Structure 1
Amino acid sequence: MKISIICVYNNKTVLDDCLLKTLHEQNNDFELILVDNTENKFNCAADALNYGGNKATGELLLFIHQDVKLFENNLNDIIEYCEKLENFGIAGIAGTDLNEGYMKSCGIHNIPPKPMCDNQITKIERVQTLDEVLLIIPQDIFKSYKFNNKLCNDWHLYGGEYCLNLIKNGYSVYVLPIKLYHYSNANSMSVEYFITLKRIFNYYKNDFDIIHTNCWGSHNPKKTNYTKFNNYLQ
């Protein structure tokens, strides 16, 4: 199975020290597509990722952050897991439980390293939304469904919205038991995050009774009290 790896980066040093250094230690062949955003050519993640994804020729497209350190055999394990998935829409390495909304993963993050969540997984599981650190999309799905640059016109929630759209259209979302290291302090909240979150809630309020987010809990999109967002939305 041919695999394409797409990374949008804005820091060449971080890219070289994290993703590229460990990527070239993998035993699998891959197509690498780097999207240089050091000069802010792209205003939102959706546009940048769609640009890179449209260049990809692999059967699997891996959209990955620049500050990820892969472990041995990560790519091989991803391919083997994806070959087992039924009704495969998108997969990742951290996601929200379908019913309760708690995070599931076996990855590590932060500085110093710690588990991404308390609920460590050992097998493939279906989830509702995924963390954007790594998103795996079959080529045929990406041809039909692009990242939404209208709902997500900044750098937040583009992966979660993509998951909701695929579920709405009958596909499944999976989290894989892949251990990798996201070399990040996970502190990326901003005003734009909450503006986009509100936009997504309004768009999907008739499709989902509950929407689970990776950073801001679970919400009924029809009954969300936005007053608690006031400090961010004013």
Structure 2
Amino acid sequence: MISVVCVYNNEKIFNNFLLKSLKNQNAKFELIGIDNTSNEFKSAAEALNYGGEKAANKYIMFAHQDVSFLTDSWLKNTEKLLDSISNLGIAGVAGMSESGRSNPERGRNIITHGRPPKAWPWGNRIQKPVPVQTLDECLVIIPKHTFDVLKFDEKTCDGWHLYAVDYCLSAKEQGFGVYALPMEIYHLSRGADNKKKFQSIRGPLPDEYYEILDKLIKKYSDMYTRIYTTCGDWSTSYPAVLQRSYYMQRLIVHLDKIFNSRSNL
């Protein structure tokens, strides 16, 4: 049986997506909904540790409020799949392999997202559980016996980003396996689209992302040469602020080429 933990800040979205699809499931589950509309919790790690400690079942699922399961047997089938993986530390529906020449080539998922719903135009579709370096935060599942010995790092991840990435890296260092699952979900978030808009010179990601990323770089610099995330691939040899500047310079050059090509039409 799976315990489902969700921290939500929009009750309407929570009810219309995650809760609605949970009610359609043909398997029993435990729901631990954490209402954060008043900003009681200041970080995802803090809130999810609070919810996870209340969980009573074999697996603990940490899901975003805007996630929906696309079949009524999603929970049942997922639990069977989890039971087949030995030494499982954490699993999710979108992961980053260390194999590949680019961020999209390293992606592993079968997610549908956005409005109207469409397959995520990123990564490689998978047909079986595959080992990955890190997982996206939209939905991850941790065996309770693993969570009992390894919690989300509230000190390093003191905001709302990269907490699953950090957990994956810590789990791997303790000998646990990290897997992406071929279990399709619908995720309302338009995060992948928003990355293309680049609305300000600060870049497509918020300041908080880079602040936490810098902590991850310091934490894992002796263990990993690169950290692969769904939002970017990061070297552990340089501070996040330098990598952000390099990324923005490449972005500006790319946008200049697009602008100049259109001007010459």
Do both share a fold (TM > 0.5)? yes
- Higher mean C-alpha deviation, range 181-190 or range 6-15: 181-190
Indicate the percent of aligned positions where both proteins have the same amino acid. Answer: 40
Quick check: 2:60–2:144 contact (8 Å CA) kept in 1? yes
1:166-185 superposed matches below 5 A: 166-185=171-190
Which stretches in structure 1 are left out of the alignment for 5+ residues?
A: none
Q: Specify which of 223, 226, 239 is matched with residue 207 of structure 1.
A: 223
| Aligned: 1:156 with 2:155 | no
| Aligned: 1:134 with 2:149 | no
Specify the code of the residue in structure 1 equivalent to 2:138: V
Where relative contact order (Cα < 8 A, 6+ residues apart) is larger, the structure is: 1
1:54-69 superposed matches below 5 A: 54-69=53-68
Q: State the 1:199 CA deviation.
A: 1.0
SS in 1 for 2:34: strand
What TM-score does the superposition give when structure 2 sets the normalisation length? 0.83
Residue in structure 2 matched with residue 95 of structure 1 by the alignment: 95
More helix by share: 2
Residue in structure 1 matched with residue 199 of structure 2 by the alignment: none
Specify the code of the residue in structure 1 equivalent to 2:205: M
| Aligned: 1:227 with 2:242 | yes
C-alpha root-mean-square deviation of aligned residues, in Å?
1.7
Give distance in 2, aligned partners of 1:84 and 1:106.
Answer: 20
SS in 2 for 1:119: coil
| Count of aligned pairs | 230
What TM-score does the superposition give when structure 1 sets the normalisation length? 0.93
Q: State the 1:86 CA deviation.
A: 1.3
- Cα deviation per residue 1:166-185 (whole Å; 9 max; x = unaligned)? 01111110000001100111
Q: State the 1:202 CA deviation.
A: 1.1
- Cα deviation per residue 1:51-88 (whole Å; 9 max; x = unaligned)? 00010001100000100111111111110110111110
Give distance in 2, aligned partners of 1:118 and 1:144.
Answer: 32
Give distance in 1, aligned partners of 2:183 and 2:82.
Answer: 12
Give distance in 1, aligned partners of 2:234 and 2:44.
Answer: 24
Residue in structure 1 matched with residue 116 of structure 2 by the alignment: 112
Runs of 4+ in 1 over 6 A off after TM superposition: none
